[in-house]
Amino acid sequence: MVGKTALVTGGSRGIGRGIAERLAQDGARVGVHYGSNEAAAKETVAAIERSGGSAFAIGAELGVPGDAAALWAAFDAHADGLDILVNNAGIGTSRPFADTDESEYDRLFAVNARAPYFITRLGAERLRDGGRIINISSGVSHAAVLPDIMTYAMTKGALDVFTRNLSKVLGPRGITVNAVAPGIVDTDINAAWLRGEDNKDAWAGAAAMSALGRVGTTQDIADVVAFLAAPDGRWVTGQWIDATGGSLA
């Protein structure tokens, strides 16, 4: 990916950071987007640079009017074009159906579905022919394994539909569009319940869901994204890639 420019939304922490670091390792110059945690984004950039890679941080709150335009204005200050777009940023919820109110529903769709739609629509103007778009979905969009997060799952289902249709729209330009669906991944966001003293069985339960008998890592997901972003992934488009470690098998 030497000479390529990538943008990873929500790239400062968790899965996004793993993706940003892997793309940089493969030679891409990576824009690390953050919503509010500038310090985490700068640390991700510093880690990439310490490893010999190239990266820059850009901040833009998602889920608010004008979010996509603000993100691209910040990006344009650092780069003159794009080769790889990873729509990773998202928010989750643990509130069940009966407790979800309209404001939470609207917020989830604004960040998880509307933002990547318009980020991609404006980004298509900057994306060079032969480029890559990778949307980070979730295993819960294809199976009701965690029904208490139904609204979150619905947002990811919308992202999956977007992925399939967009692959037809941008295919004539040689641009591939795919979705990668993680299962349970060991990130700082999940640490409280995976490793919490009050939920000692959570780690074993999460590992048991996978056919491979362990909890996923950010590297597991980043490696799948890297394949799709690289030349080897050129003939894969419009696909939903199960990266749950066989949790849905």
Residues serving a catalytic function are 137-138, 152, 156
What separation, in Å, do the N-terminal and C-terminal C-alpha atoms of the chain show?
A: 33
Full strand arrangement of the beta sheet holding 176-182: 54-59, 29-34, 5-8, 82-87, 127-136, 176-182, 240-243
User: Could you give the CA distance from residue 20 to residue 6 in angstroms, rounded to a whole number?
Assistant: 8
Cα separations in angstroms, 156 against 2, 151, 172 = 31, 9, 25
138 backbone dihedrals φ, ψ, rounded to 5°:
-165, 150
Two tokens at 50? Answer: 């310490």
Q: Distance between alpha carbon 1 and the CA centroid of its chain, in Å?
A: 19
Q: What length is written for the chain? A: 249
Contacts of 97 (CB under 8 A, 6+ apart): 147, 148, 150, 151
